[in-house]
Chains A and B, each alone.
Chain A
Amino acid sequence: GNSVTQMEGPVTLSEEAFLTINCTYTATGYPSLFWYVQYPGEGLQLLLKATKADDKGSNKGFEATYRKETTSFHLEKGSVQVSDSAVYFCALRRITGNQFYFGTGTSLTVIP
């Protein structure tokens, strides 16, 4: 089947710390992979995506690389800011069909 497993939170970091949120997936075929972010009081927003193996998605200083050999799509940022405090969701979409599969979300709090 298709599923996403991501690192459980909550995660608390100091400003300017390095961030990694792990995400691994199970899928038939070669899915597209995504990170969505939900800021407090707001709806889900697409943060970045990668559609094939070895692609790197990046946005707002965040990066994630599609690793087929380890079925992973870990989210990283070199220096987090207080404004990055949010819940982050890893997701996949099968190459056929319309369904997205989301992980359970990882809550990040960045303290000054």
Chain B
Amino acid sequence: GAGVSQSPRYKVAKRGQDVALRCDPISGHVSLFWYQQALGQGPEFLTYFQNEAQLDKSGLPSDRFFAERPEGSVSTLKIQRTQQEDSAVYLCASSLLTEQETQYFGPGTRLLVL
């Protein structure tokens, strides 16, 4: 389909492992957002890209979290040395630059750190 896709849908990691989560935004969407959603909570903003530029990373919880979007399309969220508190659903959303208030969300990647 033409929506936002994310992979993998589920990831189980042992504490201390590195993980990489992928987001494919809707074609032509300049803006891309990453959110973290803990169980029973609403999404919390992590970072924002406009094309390949990461304009806001104020929500990244620690320096173990790193995101990139090198060609202004696909984005990867990397978590190094995962901890149990990193267990959450990671959501990606994209939007047109001129309509940032209408975000299209992907299905999310559910990360479980054991």
Contact = CB atoms under 8 A, between A and B. Distances in A.
A89 to B, nearest CB: 5
B36 to A, nearest CB: 11
What are the 4 closest A-B residue pairs judged by CB atoms, nearest first? A102-B42, A44-B105, A43-B105, A98-B48
A49 B4 CA distance: 21
Contact of A46 (B3, B58, B102, B107): B102
A34 B55 CA distance: 23
Interface residues of A, number: 22
B111 interface: no
Interface residues of B, number: 26
B101 to A, nearest CB: 6
Interface in B90-114: 91, 93, 100-103, 105-108
Interface in A94-112: 97-105
A69 interface: no
A77 interface: no
B101 A44 contact: no
Contacts of B56: 97-99
Interface string A35-48: 00000001111100
Interface in A24-65: 32, 34, 42-46, 49, 51
Nearest to A97: B56
Interface string B72-88: 00000000000000000
Contacts of B101: 32, 34, 49, 51, 93
B61 interface: no
Contacts of B108: 43
A91 interface: yes
B70 interface: no
